[in-house]
Amino acid sequence: MPDSIMLQLVVRRGLVTKEQVQEFREGESGMDGETLFDTLVQKGYLDRKAAYELLAKEFAMKYVDLGEVDLPEDPEEYLPETIARQYRVFPIDFEGSALLIAISDPLEMEALDGLIHILKNPIEPVLADGKQIDQAINDRYDRNRESDDSVAVEEEVSVTTHTPEGGMALENEGPDESDAPIIRLVQVIIAEAVRRRASDIHLEPLDTSFRVRFRIDGEL
């Protein structure tokens, strides 16, 4: 949601004054990439939860504090991670036949239409703090992926060590009668690259093993 719309709402409802908004608009807004809304919250002029509760009321939506509800341990069962990140939403649970979905922008109708089309079942959007949604996505999806990766690595390789350069040295256990393990090993490497948000994967053969290195933010 555009920062200006949120600010107009909190000013109109008396959570902050026009003078306070103008003061920060002329001064500290935009520092470190923060919005003016975030700046007002950080400086103690505005209560973040109260602002989102007000926004939910304005759009006749239910507000959910994600820090106060039980979130699914494996959200992938409800919604693929790529979709959650694309639309900045988080699945909470089923309420009847509808999937409860936390969103941060009630004006983003394209996201809701996209979710309905993708999921092929009813959804019930509820409003949540955008930062809480980001945290839930990073925490729950990453936790589940790391758990899956650790199991796969334990099954396929005998030694996994992190090199000083940030790479990963893997030693194989020798020949295997099946080619399935090497396929799963490649999947583990790719999953690790995705988790680290790497742009390139480099394989370096050594005497008895090989080293995997990832290029992250332009650095190998």
Q: Helix, strand, or coil here: 154?
A: helix
Burial letters 16-49, b for 16+ CB under 10 A, else e = beeebbeebeeeebeeeeeebbbbbbeeebbebe
Give the tens place of pLDDT for each residue, 168-212. Answer: 444 444 444 445 566 767 777 887 777 777 788 888 777 666 778
Task: Name all domains of the chain by residue range, CATH numbers in brackets.
Answer: 3-46 (no CATH), 66-135 (3.30.300.160), 157-215 (no CATH)
**How do residues 55-98 score in pLDDT, each as one tens digit?**
999 989 999 999 999 999 899 989 989 889 988 999 999 988 89
**Which residues sit opposite 102 in a β-bridge?**
90, 126
Q: Judge if pTM exceeds 0.75.
A: no
